[in-house]
Amino acid sequence: MGQELTIQLVSKGARVAMVDISREGLSETEKLIDSDVCTKHLLDITDHDAVMAFKEQVILSHQAVDGLINNAGIIQPFVNVNDLDSSTISRVMNINFFGMVNMTKALLPHLLTRPVAHIANVSSMGGFIPFPGQTVYSASKAAVKLFTEGLYAELKNSPVGVTVIHPGAVNTHIMVNSGLKTEEEMAQQEKSSSAKMISAQKAAEIMINGIERNKFRVLVGSDAGLLDKLYRINPKFAVNLIVKKMSNLIT
């Protein structure tokens, strides 16, 4: 998802500081863009000191930063909380929530000095409706949702706009990046799956459009829109429907 966001931002004339914990991921994206307008930064966003050093580096490289998209995230193994080990819980929360907090805290003081700036945090449809077997992931994304909405309230009268993004099922490498499947297994699943996932290209287009329009909230994909409406009307029914649909995924 980060790769497609970068490609589309560059096509719109933006200069982008690419951040990834994977050197291979950075190099792969660099091959697809005009690298003269981008910098790449190998960074563990859960490392507070490293993030603060990154802030100084990126401002030095680009002179100014006008936007921050917190898109990094992983899911958990498809198991119930009772069977989830503490280290996995910590890893999911550290990457999905505290990493986003670190990046926001590092760059917000600078963003507040800009004439116009924006922060977009990527939550999930799992951030407003629970998915069994993904309870900790959903909790981390719900934390992203509330943090971002609180940030919006605090920055309402500032030059910094704030958007929370809730993607539904997007065809990305999140299963591989989360260590749950190999590239080959994902390719096979995509061939056999009847589920309709929105492409990363379309998802990035919707996200960037929402940021450009300074939207408070962006839903990505028809599944996210449908579940959002259903959960508002009848939360218990919506949760029971999700349980039924996902029963074969939980080990």
Low-confidence ranges of the chain (pLDDT < 70): 172-195, 249-251
Nearest Cα residue to 248 out of 76, 124, 82, 132: 132
C-beta of residue 37 within 8 angstroms of C-beta of residue 15: yes
Is 78 within 8 Å of 70 (Cβ atoms)? no
The conformation of residue 128, written as its DSSP 8-state character, comes to T
The pLDDT of residue 59? 94
Contact 95, 76 (CB under 8 A): no
Query: Cα separation of 72 and 178, whole Å?
Result: 11
Enumerate the β-bridge partners of residue 19: 41
- Distance (Å, rounded) from C-alpha 48 to C-alpha 55? 11
In this prediction, residue 171 carries a pLDDT of 85
Q: How far apart are CA 157 and CA 142, in angstroms?
A: 25
Residue type, 110: H
pLDDT at 36: 85
What's the chain's Rg over C-alpha atoms?
18
- Estimate to the nearest angstrom the gap between the alpha carbon of 35 and the chain centroid: 23
* Predicted pLDDT at 247: 73
Degrees to nearest 5, angle at CA 165 with 237 and 214: 130
Class of domain 73-246: alpha beta
Using DSSP's 3-state secondary structure scheme, residue 218 falls into strand
- Residues tagged active-site: 137, 141
> What's the token pair of residue 192?
């056999």
The dihedral formed by the CA atoms of 143, 144, 150 and 152, expressed in degrees to the nearest 10: -170
